[in-house]
Chain A
Amino acid sequence: MKNTKTDVLVVGGGAGGMAAAVSAAKEGAHVILLEREDAVGGVLNQCIHNGFGLQFYQQELTGPEFSHKLEYELRERDVHVVCGSYVRHIDFSSNSAYVISPSGGEKITAGAIVIATGARERPFGALLIPGDRPAGIFPAGLAQRYVNLENHLPGNRALILGSGDIGLIMARRLTLEGMEVVAVVERMPYPGGLTRNVVQCLEDFGIPLLLSNTVTSVRGNGRLKSVEVSEVDEQFNPISGKARSFEVDTLVLSAGLIPQVEDYVRDLDTDPVNKGLSVSNTCETSARGIFAAGNNVAVFDLVDYVAAEGWIAGRHAAFHALGNAGQSQRIPVVRKGMVGVLVPNMVDPNEHLRIYLRLKAPMDKGKVIVRELEIEKDFVYGVPSEMLQLVVNKDKLDKIRDLERLTVEVLS
């Protein structure tokens, strides 16, 4: 068993983790990055469509291109990358990670740790959809992996449950690759993904989007034969007489992403709405020296946000590890009104503040208010699928230094 020491250890080599590793290294830290797959990049590797990077790189990139840019920077900055690795356990009292990889068992002790473990897809089993248990049911990301990286089609005729972005992207992908996509079914009365994806992936291809509908049973002994889809009421209960059957051999699920925090919930605070790790605007979790960024904090819309957060996390992790972290303070951030997902959960007034929030429901118009900072920002046509963003310069945070909380509110 090897014993290794490093300044910053980054767990997870997706966009958030790579950005964190690069920025920590840029601050002069020695960085080890752990990635479980054989290559870094995470889900970017299979997102071969474009639309990435408009904010982080100011240019439109595909997923692999975005990933390659960060990978290049990892090499330039001499980040030590360990692929095919698995973190068995982190001892937060000593900041030691017990890591398994084909090259051996290694205990890595770090000055600071960045957790960037991303999110996973909500699997079929968790949805409690009644019926048989046939083959042919795929989480959208797994279907995407098969088509884009493993060069295999999941079936002939598909229905997609859930209109999250990956579901919409897969509707287009499967259609382009020769499968028939009969419908995308969404139980909410509005789509779950970005408007641009609804237009470019469904409308442009004539794929129907059935809102306020859900899959009420799956049938098939062996391979999937049919799914029953029913209209639902406001409580998502099927309305009787509003069911119809679709003959499909493939069901693709885009039923939400779950931040992967289960291994850390005993040691670190989580936010009950975001369902991810609670963090401050320096991306520090409830434990000093432990940082988190990306979809394990909250599920973000864009990889650009994830990379930007990762960048901040890495920077502050380096400061912490190298003993350059200043006095830090934490003021809790609370939600009010229509605010759902909200990042960060704590504010250090010594640093810039970026607020990401998601509405609980669509709103024609409204405003985001941060009373303590005298901020009011109007918006029109706000939808839960598109995060609202606010940036506050740290100069303006001086006045909240003595406050007990910061309130982020959305009113119509």
Chain B
Amino acid sequence: MQIVVIGGGICGSLILRKLSTLRNVSAVLVEAKCDLGQGVTKANSAIVHGGYDDPHGTVRAPLCVKGNALFTDLCEELNVPFKRTGSLVVARDNPDEIKQLQELLENGEKNGARGLRIIDKDELRKIEPNLSKDYEHALHCSSAGITEPWMIAIAAANIARMNGARVITGDPVTGCNISDGCVEDIILESGTRIPADCVINATGVHYNEVASIFGVVTPTVKLRKGQYILLDKLAGGMIRSIIFPTPSEEGKGKLVLPTVDRGVLLGPTSEKLDSYTPDDVATSDKGLRDVMNAADSLVPGISRNNWIIKSFAGLRPDTDERDFFIKADDRVKNFITVGAIRSPGLTAAPAIAELVVDEMIPQILEFSAEPKDRIVTRLPKTEKINELPFKEIARMIDDDPLHGKIVCQCNEVSEREIINAIREGARTIDGVKFRTRAGFGRCQGSFCGWRIAQILSRELGTELSEVKLNEKNTWILNGKVRP
């Protein structure tokens, strides 16, 4: 039987990875964008949450706690960085905020969250000496961590491919055929028809739109925008943990947190959008100012001008229920929506994949899953020059000089790493950037942008002017100056 996953974000890719291990299933993933993990998955806080703040009784609470527990193995198998840095919800010395910590602790314990405890001022100072002196109490969660969410989507799809799954990118779903209350096939923009015994709608902010193509009604998505500012590695020494203020109606608040490559991320805002504008990831002057002010009130002086290297915004799909919507449809029986994957969607994703593949699909399709005899469970380790000792690098260069050709000087990325990324599916400047971190550093590609474009054009056998930043209409160069 053929199962089609629509959406190559973290949920869709992890579902595909699990499906690809089954003997009686042919798995296909269809992604509208030109690369994987470039929607909601890309622009969020990249946190693996502890699971203490999702209200007990929601769908998301147990999935978050379970997902958190799965992350160490997942990231090892996918060869994606993951650090359990621990998180702190910090409170001022007033009864309301202290009470909030207590409530979070109790809620977390009910959810089964691990590593929770309330710490005092002295311990807080010891962990975060640069935290504002206004904060005297904190809920510490040792199981919380940080990762690179887009790399999970990319790596999961790669491993699924190795196990025989098909991945189609840059081709949105535009139609379908349904008979007897079951989807028979889906139709892509290119005209391709893909027969489907089951369809999984894991399309991030687009789950309403995609469901409606199949005549399926889902809870109305309410978009929330989050604006972020990324700081240079020079800021990395300022903090060790993910630092949250006490939560509010808006959500978890604007944080200060480390990134896996030793930078610092500030934000997000949490702005309700009035209308459904899934392409609106514009930042605003006010939003960015709010982010800086909030960060400075947690860690004074952190939003220093010469540390800022980038700002961006992402959208999160929320609903009035403020909970995940993961459900097989009643009328179109072989259609499952994995929708409203708001925070903590990243954390919950591996647990969502288990839920969908191990429980929901066997139930609606009435089949028992059988594992393939031989599967790839682990991606081969790809060497990152940046993480290796000098002697090891020297040895590698002796075998392959391209390890010694450093293209991105800010993040120490070699030409070999860039070529490997292209061979593994990178087709654009951003595709290379998100896979290798080349161009992600303080010069933002000022020095290496042209060279990466050149390598792409050489490796893909295209003209330099065919190289794109990310999507189809993101051309960079407009033909030759002279023939």
CB distance from A141 to the nearest CB of B (A): 7
**Alpha-carbon distance A216/B279, docked complex (angstroms):** 20
Q: Are B404 and A103 in contact (CB under 8 A)?
A: yes
Q: Are B311 and A102 in contact (CB under 8 A)?
A: no
A104 within 8 A of B: yes
Within 8 Å by CB of B230, from A101, A125, A130, A131, lies A125
B227 nearest in chain A by CB position: A130
Q: Report B349-387 CB contacts with A as 1/0, cut-off 8 Å.
A: 000000000000000000000000000000000000100
Q: Are A123 and B443 in contact (CB under 8 A)?
A: yes
Q: Report A82-112 CB contacts with B as 1/0, cut-off 8 Å.
A: 0010101100000000101111111100000
B288 within 8 A of A: yes
Chain B residues with Cβ below 8 Å from A262 are: 232, 234, 442
B402 within 8 A of A: yes
Known: A100-B393, A222-B473, A262-B234. A152 touches B464 (CB 8 A): yes
Q: Are B471 and A145 in contact (CB under 8 A)?
A: no
Q: Are B306 and A153 in contact (CB under 8 A)?
A: no
A126 within 8 A of B: yes
A132 nearest in chain B by CB position: B282
A331 within 8 A of B: no
Q: Are A131 and B282 in contact (CB under 8 A)?
A: yes
Of the listed stretches B67-75, B106-114, B475-483, chain A binds: B475-483
A258 within 8 A of B: yes
Within 8 Å by CB of A126, from B308, B465, B473, lies B308
Q: Are A223 and B474 in contact (CB under 8 A)?
A: yes
Chain B residues with Cβ below 8 Å from A100 are: 385, 390, 393-394, 397, 404, 406
Within 8 Å by CB of A121, from B312, B446, B450, lies B446
Within 8 Å by CB of B468, from A86, A132, A135, A154, lies A135
Chain A residues with Cβ below 8 Å from B444 are: 123-126
A151 within 8 A of B: yes
Known: A36-B406, A151-B480, A153-B479. A102 touches B401 (CB 8 A): yes
Q: Are B475 and A152 in contact (CB under 8 A)?
A: no
A133 within 8 A of B: yes
A147 within 8 A of B: yes
> Chain B: interface secondary structure?
mixed
Count of chain A residues near B, Cβ 8 A: 53
A128 within 8 A of B: yes
Chain B residues with Cβ below 8 Å from A105 are: 390-391, 393-395, 397, 404
A221 within 8 A of B: yes
A150 within 8 A of B: yes
Chain B residues with Cβ below 8 Å from A134 are: 469, 474
Q: Are A223 and B473 in contact (CB under 8 A)?
A: yes
**Alpha-carbon distance A128/B481, docked complex (angstroms):** 31
Within 8 Å by CB of A128, from B311, B398, B469, lies B311
A366 within 8 A of B: no
CB distance from B12 to the nearest CB of A (A): 22
Residues 139 to 161 of chain A near chain B (Cβ within 8 Å): 139, 141-142, 145-147, 150-156
A sample of 16 more A-B contacts (CB under 8 A), given A150-B464, A152-B478, is A84-B404, A86-B409, A100-B406, A101-B404, A102-B405, A105-B394, A123-B446, A128-B283, A142-B449, A151-B480, A151-B481, A151-B482, A152-B465, A219-B282, A222-B471, A223-B474
A residues lining the B interface (CB < 8 Å) = 1, 36, 84, 86, 88-89, 98, 100-107, 120-121, 123-126, 128, 130-136, 139, 141-142, 145-147, 150-156, 177, 216-217, 219, 221-223, 258, 262, 265, 275
A–B pairs, 10, beta carbons within 8 Å? A1-B391, A1-B395, A100-B406, A103-B397, A105-B395, A125-B444, A128-B308, A133-B312, A139-B446, A154-B478
- 9 tightest CB-CB pairs across the interface, nearest first? A105-B394, A222-B473, A125-B310, A123-B444, A86-B406, A102-B401, A135-B469, A135-B474, A1-B394
